[in-house]
Structure 1
Amino acid sequence: MTFDQILTLVVLVAVVAALIWDKVRADVVALSGAAVLLATGVVRPIEVQGAFASPAIIALASLFVIAYALELSGLLDRAIEAAVKMCRRLGAAGLWLLLGAIGLVSAFLNSTPIVVLGAPVVRDVAIALKLPPKRFLMPLSYITVLMGCCTLIGTSTNLLVDDMARVAGQPRFSMFEITPVGLPIAAAGALYLFLFSGRLMRGSMTDAAPTTEAAAIDVPGGQVGDVTLFATYRPFQPVKAAIALGIFASAIAVAAMGLAPIAASAFAGAVLLILLRVITADEAYGGLRPQILILIAGMVVLGMAMERSGLAAEATGALVGSMQEFGPLTALIVLYALTMVLTELLSNATVAVLVTPIAVALAESLGVSPRPFLVAVMMAGSAAFATPFGYQTNVIVYQMGGYRYLDFVKVGLPLNFITFAVAIVAIQAFFPF
C-alpha cells in the first residue's frame, strides 16, 4: 500500500470510530477528517471545493429553503389542522391515513423536519382519542423513511449515491427511476407495520410515555432542534403558500421531465422564492441545515480520497476476489446486506460515500450493469430500522414516545428482513444485470 492509501485508511478508521463513539458531532468529525486529508495532500483544495459545491449539496440546500418557505407560509399548519379534524372523525383509521399522508410528503421533502413537525400532532391526537401514542410514533418514523426511498430527492442518501456514481462515470438517475423499487418496499413495509407493529409492542404500550420533552434532540448527525420551535403556529398566508407550492411542484416537474437536474431546478426555485419575497434572504439562510450539509460534504471528501489514493480499488479487489466464484445476484445480496449493517452503525451519508465506489467497481469487475448495485446501496443505505439511532427520525420518536431500545429491535429487525427481500426481487425485475 502507498503512503496515501495508508493515511486515507487511518483517517477512515478514525472517522468511523468517532462516529460510533458518538461523543463528537458527526459534522465536526467529517470536517476533521477532510482537513487532515487536505493538509497532507491526499486531496487537493479544488477537490474539497468541488465536494462543497457538489450537486447533492446544492439540491439538498435548495430543497431545505423551499420546505422552510412552505412552513413559514402556514400551509403545513393548515394541513395539520385538516388532518386533526379527519382523525377525530375516523379514529385510529384516521391516524393511519395521517401517517400515509406524512409519508407521501416525505417522498419529496427531507423526512427529519417532517417528523419533528408531525410527531407531536400524532402523539396529541392519539392521546385525545385515548389510543397509545407508541402505536403510531414508531410507524411514523419508519413510513417516512420508506417513502423517502421512492424518489431521487426523498433522502439525502439517494442524492449522494447519485452524485458519487456520477463521479465514477455513471449516468445520473432521473427523479422517478427508482420508484418501481421503492414503492413495493414501502407498500410491504407499511402493510407489515399496520398488521404487526402493535402486536410486537403490546407489552411496551402499557408503559407511560414521558410527560416532558427535552429542549433539543441529539442525534448522530447533530441536533435537529427544539420541537417547540417547529410546533409554533404560523398564520396562513394563501398567496405565499400558493407561490411556494407552485414553485416546489414546478421544480419537481422540471427535474422529472429531464429538462434540468434537480440541483438546478431546486436552486432556481429557491432563488425565485427570495426574488418574489415569499421568503427573505435571512429566512432562507435560517432554513438551511448546515450540520447535514457539512456532514455530507466532509464525507464526500473522504470518498474522493479513497478514489484518488486507490484505496477504493484495493477494497473492491478484495471483495471481488471473494465474489468471483459467485454470480452477480449473490454479489448484489452481499452488497445489500453489508450496506444495511453499516447503516445501522453509521450515518447514511457515510455509508453512501464508502460503498458507492465499491458497488460500481464490483459490477464492472463482474461484467454487469452497475445500476442494480447502485439502487441496492440507495435502498439499504436508508433501511435503518433495527436501532433507535440508525436514522434521525428514529431518535425523535424514540425520545418523544418513551420507547425502549428493544422496541426498535422487535419491530425494526423484521422490517429490515422484509424490505431486504422485496428490494432484491424488485431490483432484479426493474434493473436487470
Structure 2
Amino acid sequence: MTIAQILTLVVLVSVVGALIWDKVRSDVVALTGAAVLLVTGVVRPVEVQGAFASPAIIALASLFVIAYALELSGLLDRGIDLAVRMCRRLGAAGVWLLLALIGFLSCFLNSTPIVVLGAPVVRDVATALKLPPKRYLMPLSYITVLTGCCTLIGTSTNLLVDDMARVAGQPRFGLFEITPVGLPIALAGGLYLFLFSGRLMGRSLTGPAIVQHAPDFEAPGAQIGDADLFAERRPFQPVNAVLAGIVFVGAIAAAAMDIAPIAASAFAGAVLLILMRVITADEAYGGLRPQILILIAGMVVIGIAMEESGLAAVATNTLVASLHGVSPLVALVVLYGLTMVLTELLSNATVAVLVTPIAVALAESLGVSPRPFLVAVMMAGSAAFATPFGYQTNVIVYQMGGYRYMDFVRVGLPLNLLTFAVAIVAIGAFFPF
C-alpha cells in the first residue's frame, strides 16, 4: 500500500471508530477527518472545495430553505390542524391515514424535520383518541424512511450516493429513476407495519408512560433533542404559503422533467423565495441545518480520498476476490446485506461514502452495469430499522415514546428482512445487469 492509502485508511478507521464511540458530534468527526487528509496532502484544497460545493450539498441546503419557508408560512400548521380534525372523525384509521400523508411528504422533504414536526401531533392525536401513542410513533419513523427511498431527494443518502457515483464517473440519477424500486419497498413495509407492528410490540404498548421531555443526545448525522422544542406554532400567512408551495412544486417539476438538475432548480427556488421576501436571508440561514450539511461534506472528502488514493480499488479487489465466480445477483445480495448491517452501526452518510465506490468497482469487475448496485446502496443505506440509533428519526420517537431497545429489534429486524427481499426483486426487475 502507498503512503496515501495508509493515511486514508487510518483516517477512515479513526472516523468510523469515533462515530461508533459516539462521544463527539458526528459533523465534527467528519470535519476532523477531512482536515487531516487535507493537511497530509492526500486531498488537495480544490477537492475539499468541490466537496463543500457538491450538487448533493447544494440540493439539500436549498431544500432545507424551501421547507423552512413552508414552515414559517404556517402552511404546515394549517395542514396539521386539518389532520387532527380528520383523525377525530375516523379514529385509528385516521391516524394511519395521517401517517401515510406524512410519508408522502417525506418523498420530497428530508424525513428528520418532518418527524420533528409530526411526532408531537401523532402523539397528541393518539392520546386524544385514547389510543396508545407507542402504536404509531415507531411506524411514523419507519414510514418516513421507507417513503424517502422513493425519490432521489427523499433522503440525503440518495443524494450522496448519486454524488459519489458521479465522482466515480457514473451518470447522475433522475429524480424518479429509483421510484420503481422504492415504491414497492415502501408499500410492502407500510403494509407490514399496519398488520404486524402492534402485535410485535405486544405488552410494550401498555408499558411505562410516555417520556415527555427527554434530554438531548447525539444521533448519527445530527444533534436531536426533544421534538416538542421544535413544535412552535406559526401564524398562517396565505400569500407566503401559496408562493412557497408554488416554488417547491416548480423546483420538483423542473427536476422531474429534466429541465434542470435538482441542485439547480432547488437553489433557484430558495433564492427566489428570498427575493420575493417570503423568507428573509437570516431566516434562510437559520433553516440550513449546517450540522447535517457539514457531516455530508466531510464524508465526501473522505470518499474522494479513497478514490484518489486507490484505497477503494484495493477494497474492491479484496471483495471481488472473495466473490470470485459468483453471479452478479449473488454479488448484489452480498453488497446489500453488507450495506444494511453497516447502516445499523454507522451514519447513512458514512455508509454511502464507504460502499458507493466499492459498488461501482465491483460491478465493473463483473462486467455488468453499476446501476443495480448503486440502487442497492441507496436502499440499504437508509434501511436502518433494527436499532433506535440507526437513523435520526428513530432517535426522536425512541425518546418521545419511551420505547425499549428491544421494541425496535422485534419490529425492525423483520422489516429489514422484508425490505431486503423486495428490494432485490425490484432491482432485478427494473435495473437489469
Runs of 5+ unmatched residues, structure 1: none
Separation of aligned partners in 2, 1:75 and 1:377: 34
- SS of the counterpart of 2:202? coil
Match of 2:131 in 1: 131
Match of 2:431 in 1: 431
Match of 2:187 in 1: 187
Separation of aligned partners in 1, 2:68 and 2:421: 36
Separation of aligned partners in 1, 2:140 and 2:222: 21
- 1:84-103 aligned at under 5 Å gives the runs 84-103=84-103
Q: List structure 1 runs of 4+ shifted beyond 2 angstroms.
A: 208-212, 214-218, 224-230
Q: Is the 8 A contact 2:226 2:400 kept in 1?
A: no
- SS of the counterpart of 2:174? coil
Letter paired with 1:155: T
Match of 1:378 in 2: 378
- SS of the counterpart of 1:201? helix
How much has 1:231 moved relative to structure 2? 1.1
Between stretches 206-215 and 298-307, larger displacement belongs to 206-215
Letter paired with 2:243: I
Match of 2:335 in 1: 335
Match of 1:263 in 2: 263
Tell me the TM-score normalised to structure 1 length.
Answer: 0.99
- SS of the counterpart of 2:42? coil
Q: Does 1:50 align with 2:50?
A: yes
Q: Does 1:112 align with 2:131?
A: no
How much has 1:211 moved relative to structure 2? 4.5
Separation of aligned partners in 2, 1:394 and 1:8: 31
- 1:61-80 aligned at under 5 Å gives the runs 61-80=61-80
Match of 1:315 in 2: 315
Match of 1:27 in 2: 27
Q: Does 1:121 align with 2:115?
A: no
Match of 2:198 in 1: 198
How much has 1:427 moved relative to structure 2? 0.1
Give the total of aligned pairs: 433
Q: Is the 8 A contact 1:215 1:227 kept in 2?
A: no
Q: Is the 8 A contact 1:324 1:366 kept in 2?
A: no
Letter paired with 2:76: L
Letter paired with 1:411: V
Q: Is the 8 A contact 1:217 1:226 kept in 2?
A: no
Runs of 5+ unmatched residues, structure 2: none
How much has 1:226 moved relative to structure 2? 4.9
Tell me the TM-score normalised to structure 2 length.
Answer: 0.99
Separation of aligned partners in 2, 1:224 and 1:371: 34
Q: Is the 8 A contact 1:64 1:287 kept in 2?
A: yes
- 1:401-416 aligned at under 5 Å gives the runs 401-416=401-416
Separation of aligned partners in 2, 1:173 and 1:191: 28
Match of 1:14 in 2: 14
Residues 6-34 of structure 1, C-alpha deviation per residue, up to 9 Å, x if partnerless? Answer: 11111111000000000000000000001
Separation of aligned partners in 2, 1:397 and 1:243: 32
- SS of the counterpart of 1:18? helix
How much has 1:202 moved relative to structure 2? 1.3
Residues 377-401 of structure 1, C-alpha deviation per residue, up to 9 Å, x if partnerless? Answer: 0000000000000000000000000
Residues 226-281 of structure 1, C-alpha deviation per residue, up to 9 Å, x if partnerless? Answer: 52342111111010000000000000000000011000000000000000000000
- SS of the counterpart of 1:202? helix
Separation of aligned partners in 1, 2:244 and 2:208: 40
Match of 1:148 in 2: 148
Q: Is the 8 A contact 2:221 2:349 kept in 1?
A: no
Separation of aligned partners in 1, 2:14 and 2:364: 30
Separation of aligned partners in 1, 2:30 and 2:424: 31
State percent identity of aligned pairs: 82
- SS of the counterpart of 1:151? coil
Between stretches 211-220 and 166-175, larger displacement belongs to 211-220
Residues 174-193 of structure 1, C-alpha deviation per residue, up to 9 Å, x if partnerless? Answer: 00000000000000000000
Letter paired with 2:276: L
